[in-house]
Every structure is written in C-alpha cells, then in structure tokens.
Amino acid sequence: MHTLRRWTIRVVWSALLVFATLVVGGALDARRRLADLQPWHRVVPRDFRAADLTATSTLSDYLAIEDGAMRTVHEEIEQRLAPEWRLPANRYNTDGHSSPRRMDTDWNRTQVMAPSGPPVAGALLVHGLTDTPYSMRTMGQQLQARGYYAVALRVPGHGTVPAGLTAVTWEDWLAAVRLAARHVRATIGPDKPLVLIGYSNGGALVTKYGLDVLEGSGDPAADRIVLLSPMIGVTPFAWMARVISMLGPLPAFEKARWLDVLPEYNPFKYTSFPANAGLQTWRLTTTMQRQIERVATGGSSAKLPPMLTFHSLVDSTVSTPAVVHALYDVVADERSELVLFDINRASGLVPFVRQSDATLLSRLTDASSRRYRRTLVTNVDPSSLDVVERTVAPGATTIDSRGLGLAWPRDVFSLSHVAVPYPPSDPIYGREDVAGAPAVIRLGVLSPRGERAVFSVPSDTLMRLTWNPFFSYLSDRALAWLPQGAPPR
C-alpha cells in the first residue's frame, strides 16, 4: 500500500510538471515568436451571445448588435489608426488597397439577398472560421437569381477584429445560426424548402443545427444541406490551446492567447489566429461527432436532411478522413453524396507531395459498396490535365465516368481549404481579370517568386490557392441538387 501511494504521488507530480511546462513553455514561446499585439488584437467589440437569443429574438435585433460591433471597429480602430499602420495592405486603413470599404457592399456584415419576386425557397449560408459572409457571396447571389430568399450570416466574432474571437464560444455561433434559420423560415413561409449551406466551420454549425432539430430543438427543419470543406474534425491537439493560453490574462504573457499574429492584409478574413478559436472548433467538432454517433446508433440518422459535400482530398485546415469516416460512413444515407477533389496527378509535383497525402485517396476509398454516393474529380490519366468525374452509386461498386470539359491549371497541384467556395472570377481571391472590378488587392493573382525572408507575412500563405478552378462544376451540381419549388420528398 505504501509503495502504491508513493507511485501515485510520483505520477501526480509528473503530470503537474508536464502541465506547468506546457503552460509556461507555451507562454514563453508565444512571447518570443509572435509579433507585437496591435489594437485589433486587444479591442473586443460587443457582439451577439447565446444568452441574447430568446423566443422573440429577430434578425433585426441581431443586426443592431452587429451595427454596434462595426461602429466600435470604426471608432476605436480605423479612426485611431497609428501612422505606422496606414499601410496599403492593412484592412483597417480606410484609404488602403485592402480596405473592405472599396467594395460596393460590406461583406463583413450579414447580407440579406431577396429575390425580385415571391421566393421559391429559402437558404441560410454560413461562412467559416476567421471568415466572413464574403465566402458565401457567389453562391448566395446565384441562389437569389433563381428565386431564393438567401441570408449570408456573419457569425459572432467575425468580420470585425481578430480579438473578437478571443471571447466567443461555439454556442454563440450556433445561437446565431438558429436565429437566422428562424428568420428565413418565417420569411418564406411554412411550405417552401429551406436549405442550409455551410463552409468549413459553417459546415460544422449547419450539421450541428440539423442534428439538434432531429433531437428536438424545436427550430425549423432544413430540407437539404450543402457542405463545403466542412469542419467535421480537427487535429486532436487543438484542445491544447486552452492549456497554452492559460497565462494569457497576465500582461507579460498576453501573446499566449494567440497562435498566430500576422498583418491583417485580407479584407474579408483574419490572418491572426487566437487560441480560443482553435479551442472552440475542437469543442464543437467533438460534441458533434458524439451526437452523430448517438443519432446513428439510435437509428434516426435517416431523418437527417440529405447532404451534398464538396471537399478537397488534401486539406491542411480540417480533417478529410473525418468527413469520410466520422460523418458519411456513420450516417450512411443513400440520399447523400460526397464529392472529393483529387490532387493534380499531372502537375509534375506529385514526387514532392508527402507520401501520406499522395496515398490518402486509397486509404479513404476501397472497392466495397457504401450507402452513400461517392464522386471523385480527378485527372483522366496521370499524363493529362483534363479532369473526369468518377461516381459510385449507393450500394454499388462499379464506377461511372463522365468528362467535365474542365482541366487543372498547369501551375496548380491541388485545391486548398480556402479555395473551394471562390470562382476564378472573384475580384479578390480569383485569378481572372473582371471588367469593372473594384480597385482592391488581388490576392488570387499573387504567385510570389523571389528571395526569401522579404515579406511581412509567410510566403506560403500568399501562395496558397484562393480560387477553385472547378467552381463551375461545384455550382452546377449544387444548384441542380437543391430544390427549386416544393420540398423534396
């Protein structure tokens, strides 16, 4: 007994030592590694919280809080911007090339896109983490043109300053989604289809929303769900953000609350990343995965809305295996489809791709039949840039192929997490020149080649693909799959 007690004490002290090392080591590393914090890392605008949601809350109430948050940014950040930060590539410099004010519409705010006539259906579009409604711009406008009443929601903590994500929780995000879904349903009436479209973290939120409705939340049920690079799983080390940031409240270690501190050059996306944001995604995805298992075990997953998912095979932000194994394989719905975009096998860069990523496809797919439809967009053969759609129907093993009349750009070796929702014609993130486009920074055309250690941001960030060469395929597939009139039965 004495020996057992002694070993227990040793184990406890060892655990405490490891814990303290992580906390102190993480804080010291952040203090050494990260750039100095600026006002947009410290000012936290008052934003919508889950506690603000009541049975009588309206979208107008939400937008009033949003207006207040935007006013805080203007008065405390933009109007007080120090001279050294009046740079062309600072989004908070209202005279700079990265200012969102150069756009005709401020896509950092919630956008309501009403059709010219009575709506045929309603859509709620939810953006991703550190993102804004701008990522839902093209798809929302396409739905609006087809008679949808569409709302592209600004999720709390987003569209203002990165510090907005230091205090928010995933419960706040979901409360905003619930409020917006109620608004869309009330606007279109009880008999017209309601669809949910979520990108990245927004994909997790609309999936969670659908699961909650199934388990009795009382919110309006969706008829269909479209997911773009959904955040079904993140790295298991994301929970460490809570540990590493514990010393953040101390002034000497305030950088410990941040995983990245970078110049804010992107008009519609934060580049700095607070630890709390990573923690909330881990909390959301682990909660959702348990709920998916519970619903499937209870035999009610067939009551979930059918899902159509578009996802890049390689994705450094979210887990591709989680989309396959923690969602589609578990729900196993024959009405749903998973579309994967392969890497460019004819890029000439495959020998440089990590072996684990190069062989990922074989680990995620096999010859056995599955309950859902599987589609792969891939090269016709390893020597051709032309792509083909290869589809396996639910319960089948045979492959049906269809040429798409599309091809990989020769200088692109894969899609990226941030590229999926943007067409090549996007005025900021696209590659194509567009007549009449606003005079804004063109992030999609950047391909920096030159000396290293010159830029104020990592060069691999600037080289990450920001547009989808197959967006027309994605758009056509999604619009054809979504209801155009009466809800699908």
Neighbouring CB atoms inside 10 A of 210's CB total 23
Domain covering 38-304, topology: Rossmann fold (3.40.50)
- The Cα 372–Cα 334 span in angstroms is 4
What are 79's two structure tokens? 């109007």
**Angle at which helices 170-188 and 59-73 pack, to 10 degrees?**
130
Q: Which helix (H) or strand (E) holds 185?
A: helix 170-188
How far is the C-alpha of 37 from the C-alpha of 217, rounded, in Å?
40
Tens-level pLDDT at each residue, the chain (489 residues): 666 666 666 655 555 554 455 455 555 555 556 789 999 999 999 999 999 999 999 999 999 999 999 999 999 999 999 999 999 999 999 999 899 988 889 999 999 999 999 999 999 999 999 999 999 999 999 999 999 999 999 999 999 999 999 999 999 999 999 999 999 999 999 999 999 999 999 999 999 999 999 999 999 999 999 999 999 988 666 556 665 656 556 655 688 889 999 999 999 999 999 999 999 999 999 999 999 999 999 988 889 999 999 999 999 889 999 999 999 999 989 999 999 999 999 998 888 888 877 777 776 777 788 999 999 999 999 999 999 999 999 999 999 999 999 999 999 999 999 999 999 999 999 998 877 767 778 888 877 777 776 777 777 777 889 999 999 999 999 999 999 744 433
Collapsing DSSP states into helix, strand and coil, what is residue 20? helix
Q: How far apart are the first and last CA of the chain?
A: 66
Containing H/E element for 479? helix 471-481
Domain spans in the chain, listed from the N-terminal domain onward = 38-304
Rg (CA), the chain: 23
Residue 5: which residues within 8 A CB-CB, separation 6 or more? Answer: none
List all residues 6 or more positions away from 188 whose beta carbon is below 8 Å from its beta carbon.
119, 121, 122, 149, 194
Hey, what amino acid is at 316? S
